[in-house]
Homo-oligomer: A and B are copies of this chain.
Amino acid sequence: MDGVDKYDLLSDLAKRRGYFWPSFEIYGGVSGYLDLGPLGTRLKRRIEDLWLQLFVQQHRFVVVSNPVITPEQVFAASGHLESFKDLMTTCGNCGRHFKADLAVSEAMPGRTDIAIEAMTPGQVDSFVKENNIRCPECGGQLGTTEYFSTMFKTNIGPYGDVIGYGRPEAAQGMFTDFKRVYDATREKLPIGIAQIGTVMRNEISPRQGPIRLREFTIMEMEIFFDPSEPRCPFLDRVKNVELSLLSAKTREAGNNDVDLVMTEEAVRNGQISNEWLAYFMAVSTNFARCLGIPHEKQRFEEKMASERAHYSTQTYDHQILLDRWGWVEIAGHAYRTDFDLTAHMKHSGVDLSIFKSFSEPIERRAVVVIPQESKLGPILREKTRAIVDEIAQRNPEEVRKAFDTNGYLEIRGFKLQPDQVRFEERNTRESGKHVVPHVVEPSYGAERLVYSALEYAYTRVDDRVILRLPRSLAPMQIMVFPLMPKDGLDETAMQLVDTLVLHKFDVEYDESGTIGRRYARADEIGVPLTVTVDYQTKNEGTVTLRDRDTWAQVRNDLRTIPELARGFLAGQLSFTQLGTPVETKLEK
């Protein structure tokens, strides 16, 4: 584990070339934080744009933005205040704290059947003792396990009693905003509401570089659909996508064998409980492939009941194989049902259900709630209208139940008494009904994807490094070299750079050192296309184009470069289509 692996090699390259490095380095660093340099930041934005295209734009779904700091009520309702915590074990010798499941999985690798998360602190202590799991830092005895809340806590404003937390997921903003977005987008289901933004998790002892961060960019979408119409209209688009499934049952049997199964089949045979869940797992497979991660290095691990987040009835982690850490989660696919919307309805008193019209109105006798405005008016004054309207929207059964259970019904902070309403059986004509949508969620961490794409791009050919990033993602797209920085070659090269900047390419100019060294540097940065201006350029107006991946070279007219580059980077042109082949000596 401590040898030079791809993580070490890549981290070194990433620092030198400007992909990423640990944050706050000049102050000794704080673990769990990562800076993205110029290339990393651009790679991340490209990955975000790809995600937006595959998950949002092609379905005409929408994106919203909510704050990071979120008031306590929201997380009290969502269950995070109670459940978003980790088992923390402490070394009796050095006093260091560790996330218990990580300490165990590090000591007992490959044992996917052990669910530390499901244990009580006392059970963890016993388990650690029985299996003689020692402190990863000093080898001391681990123990005295307790819960640690992994949300960052702060105060909002000067009053001291307004508690806020850094959100650990973006999802709650999409739930609390659901009705606003539903109304603004013309009341249609299904709808996907997505978000890209900062989230924070106060990890106990993050020691996995870019893989376990205390702050990262989440790319998360909630698909809201009517549970009585759970079909996904896009499923047909992914019918040829095969999924690698590692089921919870297999894992419970202590086994790691995956089933290879077509997306639709996985829904039909019940392995995946919902079409939307299956559809986005297939999209996720394609997305990872676009990042350069081959199908055989991907799998979906179903979480066991004891491991699942509190809001989920089925969760698949999309995992990929990384050199140092083995199978690592790049996405969570969760079927959250109506858990969150129902929780927020209950805690806020605001109706988040949608009204679904029947094709024909239905007539029947039913109990209705009739607010007694003569009694309510004097008490509620200018609020009467709003509260009367809200009573009318409530389900009469639930109103009755509230009176039976609590003796009152709370609406917007006002406690409605039983004598302030009447229940009456009437002939009603129902034009529709209230439905609380169900939700499926795919969720990604952008920085982890940046790292994964880089690791899969990292290639050695003899003693040289080539970063074979997919062309459409490459943060530096073109480098322009004058063969020599003189005789006007440099000026022509700079003019080409200016032209390419105007065409909005990400381009760099380099005139230093031998041409071979410049090519090697471009390969290491992952630049798909290099253009060299030489003495032939002066006579014939042509330049040399070089392919990062094959080191092949072609020549073409200087003026065609923007168009050729556009087609090549978008994957519409192959390198051999870019010009006339040039005989080159083999690069060393």
Contact = CB atoms under 8 A, between A and B. Distances in A.
A154 B197 CA distance: 20
A409 interface: no
Contacts of A63: 38, 41-42
A212 interface: no
A518 to B, nearest CB: 11
Contacts of A97: 157-159
A67 B23 contact: yes
Nearest to A215: B67
Interface in A126-184: 148, 152-159, 162, 164, 166, 173, 176-177, 179-181, 183-184
Given A67-B33, A200-B69, A27 B348 contact: yes
Contact of A57 (B33, B64, B501): B501
A53 interface: yes
A370 interface: no
A166 B153 CA distance: 11
Contacts of A185: 18, 38
A66 interface: yes
Contact of A69 (B65, B67, B70, B214): B214
A21 B37 CA distance: 34
A384 to B, nearest CB: 19
A390 to B, nearest CB: 13
Given A17-B184, A53-B504, A184-B16, A68 B66 contact: no
A181 B26 contact: no
Interface stretch (A202-210, A287-295, A548-556): A202-210
Contact of A162 (B30, B73, B215, B501): B30
A538 to B, nearest CB: 25
Interface string A1-29: 00000000000000111100101111100
A65 B504 contact: no
A198 interface: yes
Given A53-B504, A177-B35, A24 B71 contact: yes
B15 A180 contact: yes
Interface string A65-100: 111111101100000000000001000000001000
A504 B64 CA distance: 19
B16 A181 contact: no
Contacts of A179: 26
Nearest to A348: B26
Given A33-B69, A42-B63, 11 more contacts: A17-B184, A18-B180, A18-B184, A21-B180, A26-B176, A26-B344, A26-B348, A67-B215, A68-B68, A153-B154, A156-B214
The 3 A-B pairs of least Cβ separation, nearest first, read: A18-B184, A38-B62, A36-B65
